[in-house]
Amino acid sequence: MSEVAERDARPGLSGILPDALSAWFVERGQPAYRARQVADRVWRGHARDAASIRTLPAALREQLDQAFRLDTIGATEVTVTDGGMTEKALHHLDGGAVVESVLMHYPARPESRERHTLCLSSQAGCAVGCPFCATGELGFARDLETAEIVDQARDAARRLALGGKRLTNIVFMGMGEPLLNLDRVLPAIEALNDPRRFGLGARHITVSTSGVVPGIRRLTALGPQFTLAVSLHAARDSLRDVLVPLNRRWPVAEVVEAAREHARATGRRISYEYTMISGVNDTELDGSALAELLRGDHVHVNLIPMNPVAHTPWTASPAPVIERFAAQLRAAGIETTVRGNRGQDVGAACGQLAAERAGEPPGPVVERRRRLLVEASAAALRGERSREAVPGGVGD
């Protein structure tokens, strides 16, 4: 993923605060209600350009276009899978970056209403480099702007509106590590939550992190009402060093302590994500280490069968292994759910389209990466903690 074109200097309108938009109109000798007209077309009417805002005089539409981008997404390619239940969108952003969002439809059930959940991206690529993740393989291109994050939600809402539906949930589980782009992610959450803008309840928003401890602490200080999900994938440092390379900087005990503190301060239960990789992190030893780590905490553990990703030597744990692992956790009093692997579940599918688009890396690079991962995970299973660099992106 490389950026070639010049970036557009105009800020995205969805990243602008309502008061700043009013001030912009007032500065031009216009009444403040003009800002509300624009906001209504942008947030309720899903407008993509000023030309469609017919309530504004033509000259003002032109000025608005010169000052802001009403939509920061240039083009979107949508692929529908799972019998219409999943829509993967590939968004082309300014300057050549490409990111993904995945819209998942869940029909109504006796215990829950119909849901439409969007998994969106916070960065183009990711620097963390988890070896089982398609995004990690791509490496890092750039942080997304606030408006580029919000506009993924507007794009999904626009598509849903065609069928008279609304977006009900947003999860930051697409490409990127949101806590490494908090300065843009926090204002994006504010815009998504603000009743004058996107208007989605904070409790319907989940932010997922691979364990950026200073970012978790920053969130704790703000006391947010959205859900924090922590991607654990291993309870032992030796293994987590391999699966989530950030563990070398913030080891698992520190991550869990920061999450505990967050739960104490906000009163919100923490969710832990645990991707099940066959023969790597699904052993009985791993189950007891995880149970020990979380014992007594008010948490929710989500076990996710690993989605197949090109260039890794690994596959998903078989269903009976996942069930045994879940039973082990439940026996320790930990609330645990197993996500279906329709290939469409949150996060698991994200990054793959963009990775495919990035092209096939050279064969020897892939071979070397596979070999290093097998060696590193075998050493980790023996409990050895290596200090050597773990292969992240295939292009390393």
By the rule CB under 6 A, 210 interacts with ligand SAH: yes
| From the list ligand SF4, ligand SAH, none, partner contacted by residue 277 (C-beta under 5 to 8 A by kind) | none
By the rule CB under 6 A, 135 interacts with ligand SF4: yes
Contact residue for ligand SAH among 47, 99, 306, 358 (CB under 6 A): 306
Marked catalytic residue, from 100, 145, 148, 273:
100
By the rule CB under 6 A, 14 interacts with ligand SAH: no
CA distance 260 to 252: 12
- Least Å from the CB of residue 109 to ligand SAH: 23
Asked if 133 is an active-site residue, the reply is no
C-beta of 126 vs 373, nearer to ligand SF4: 126
| From 76-84, 248-256, 303-311, 367-375, span contacting ligand SAH (CB under 6 A) | 303-311
Exposed e or buried b for every residue in 236-274, given b needs 16+ CB within 10 A? Answer: bbbbbbbbbbbbbebbbeebbebbbebbeebebebbbbb
Phi, psi of 155 (to 5 degrees): -65, -45
| From the list ligand SF4, ligand SAH, none, partner contacted by residue 306 (C-beta under 5 to 8 A by kind) | ligand SAH
Asked if 126 is an active-site residue, the reply is no
Contact residue for ligand SF4 among 14, 22, 181, 210 (CB under 6 A): 210
Residues facing 275 on adjacent strands: 304
CA distance 169 to 67: 31
By the rule CB under 6 A, 209 interacts with ligand SAH: yes
| From 21-29, 249-257, 260-268, 305-313, span contacting ligand SAH (CB under 6 A) | 305-313
Contact residue for ligand SF4 among 103, 133, 309, 381 (CB under 6 A): 133
By the rule CB under 6 A, 305 interacts with ligand SF4: no
176 Cβ partners below 8 Å, 6+ apart? 99, 121, 122, 123, 124, 125, 126, 135, 143, 144
Contact residue for ligand SAH among 72, 208, 271, 344 (CB under 6 A): 208
Marked catalytic residue, from 126, 130, 133, 350:
350
- Least Å from the CB of residue 341 to ligand SAH: 8
CA distance 176 to 122: 5
How many residues touch ligand SAH under the rule CB under 6 A: the total is 17
By the rule CB under 6 A, 392 interacts with ligand SAH: no
- Shortest-Cβ-distance residue relative to ligand SAH: 347
Which residues form the interface with ligand SAH (CB under 6 A)?
126, 132-133, 173, 177, 208-210, 231, 273, 275, 304, 306-307, 309, 347-348
User: Which positions are annotated as active-site residues?
Assistant: 100, 350
What residues make contact with ligand SF4 under the rule CB under 6 A? 126, 128-130, 133, 135-136, 176-177, 210, 231
